[in-house]
Amino acid sequence: MSRFIILAILYLVLAVYGFQAFRTLFKSPLMHWAYIILFLGALIFLTIKVMTYDEGDGFKGTAAIAGTIFAAFFLLALVLGFFLLLEDIVRLLGFGYNKIVGVSDPDAGYFPSRRKFISGIALGLAALPFGALLYGMYRGKYNYQVLKYELEFDDLPDAFHNYQITQISDVHSGSFDDYQKVEYGVNLVNEQKSDVIFFTGDIVNLKSDELEPWKEVFSRLDAKDGVYSILGNHDYGDYAVWDTEEDKEENLEYLKTMQKEMGFDLLLNSNRFLEKDGDKIALVGVENWGRGGFKKAGDLQKAKEGISPEDFKILLSHDPSHWEDVVIHDDYHFHLTLSGHTHGMQFGVEIPGWVKWSPVKWRYKYWAGIYKELGQFINVNRGFGFIGYPGRFGIWPEISVITLKKKGLA
């Protein structure tokens, strides 16, 4: 609570300071009161949610909305304050210079007034993150994008030339709030008519029962060669509060049962073979393995038992740090790894061929899209759902469609 009080005080200081720019641009008392009411309203809304917050519920629903609105206004005031501070430094230096030099201008003895030009620039730039956060919350989180890739391999079995894969990841069903839009996303997956569908972890936020309202719609996922899945770090119940360890274990077993009932073939440090016209490729799935404090239940050595180094291999591993730290250095060559986890931080800028940026790149080297190292590919899916920030801007929810190609075949 003490941290929240400090944050609230800083917020109010920034809001008051930023008001100077607003007052410079708008002379209407009505606009001034609108500024005050909106800033105070955002703080009061968040305060109510903080006072009534239950850790067992997770950061979702109106609590997440309150946090996002507060963050939007906080950024607005922060950017305004930054530019006003720069302007005040210049004003102070100018005033001091005039005093020392003794400029004959009769106005030189007065402190320079604020310039509308600076306040206008400040407000315009501050409006960008403010608007982006709010747009992402109300429109961006269900703005599903189908991203298509073609990958070529020298040793792909001939029968799997033009074999199509659809990957989704990071559903985070506990955050959803619009059944029709989620249903639209699932239908969009099926419309790709891929040979196989892979889900690469984090189907819930905290507890398995979050999946219950969405179980039926995700059970509609359909592909000729099946739907395969793995677990992500959120699926184990590690972030929820449990009365006993037995409750936590039951929660995980319930999640596994639901995935089976949905028609998902859950791979837990195990493998399967996909067969077509006498050829086969190995499908390997590991439990979560993440760098740092994340769960390291993934056992690649166990998962690859029964397959040979010569097999063409597709690996499902939730966290791309596993690929970077372990997979690409393994004595087996994993041709394609499918991961998720990063969400692209749900915020960034992407203009294909020009810009690809998100703050998450400072944490993860491989954070979105296709990468290749040591002759091995990884696709890091940007995620189907959202968590924490109840929205997306610039990094939209993704359905990956990957077509495997055999080099030399038309």
Q: What is the pLDDT of residues 357-396, one digit of tens each?
A: 999 999 999 999 999 999 999 999 999 999 999 999 999 9
pLDDT more than 70, % of the chain = 93
What is the bridge-based pairing of β-strands 279-285 and 270-276? antiparallel
Q: Which residue has the higher pLDDT, 106 or 182?
A: 182
What is the bridge-based pairing of β-strands 270-276 and 369-373? unpaired
Q: Give the C-alpha separation, 321 to 203, whole Å.
A: 19
Tens digit of each residue's pLDDT (9 = 90 or more) over 105-129: 555 545 556 677 777 888 888 888 8
pLDDT given at position 152: 96
Checking if the pLDDT of 87 tops 80, the result is no
Give mean pLDDT, residues 249-278: 97
Q: Which residue has the higher pLDDT, 229 or 54?
A: 229
pLDDT given at position 27: 85
Which stretch of 72-86, 169-183, 384-398 has the lowest confidence by average pLDDT? 72-86
Q: What is the mean pLDDT of the chain?
A: 91
pLDDT more than 90, % of the chain = 73
pLDDT given at position 259: 98
Beta pairing partners, 289: 296
Beta pairing partners, 166: 197, 401
Which stretch of 182-186, 252-256, 283-287, 293-297 has the lowest confidence by average pLDDT? 293-297
Which stretch of 71-85, 98-112, 127-141 has the lowest confidence by average pLDDT? 98-112
Q: Give the C-alpha separation, 90 to 189, whole Å.
A: 56
pLDDT given at position 367: 97
Tens digit of each residue's pLDDT (9 = 90 or more) over 136-150: 998 999 999 999 999
C-alpha distances in angstroms, 9 versus 15, 48, 84, 295? 10, 16, 19, 36
CB 353 within 8 A of CB 367: no
Task: Give whichever of 52-61, 87-96, 104-113, 342-351 has the largest mean pLDDT.
Answer: 342-351
